[in-house]
Amino acid sequence: MIGKPFKFLWVSAGDHSSIEAKFNLQFGFPALVIINKQKNLYSVMRGQFSKEGIISFLEGILIGKFSLDNLPADLKFNSVNAWDGKDAELIVEDEIDLSDVTLEDL
């Protein structure tokens, strides 16, 4: 796919719930949405989210295999903190000793 006209943007699920609703992304994540801002069109990948599936979808977009829909007029992204490139810190929770709990206690 070298030299193909694609740019990518990553957003976390839940950060843009209105966008998820406008693109009908309730089927789960990860999800891939192609947006052509110049033509005001988009398409959602519904196939297998794998290297081969993504390549097939992108190639299909280039040859007109997949339908494109008009972008919602009021498409806006929320402001969120930029990702620092690091994994989230593991939350350490207090350990609870359950050795003396039995089913009768519940």
pLDDT of residue 14 exceeding 80, the answer is no
Give the pLDDT score at 52: 92
The per-residue pLDDT of the chain, averaged, comes to 80
What whole-number distance in Å separates Cα of residue 98 and Cα of residue 47? 45
In this predicted model, what pLDDT tens digit does every residue of 23-57 receive, in sequence order? Answer: 888 777 788 888 888 888 888 888 888 999 989 99
What whole-number distance in Å separates Cα of residue 56 and Cα of residue 52? 6
pTM score above 0.75: no
How would residue 80 be classed by pLDDT, with cut points 50, 70 and 90?
Answer: confident
User: Number of C-alpha atoms within 13 angstroms, CB side, residue 12?
Assistant: 8
- The amino acid that residue 51 corresponds to is K
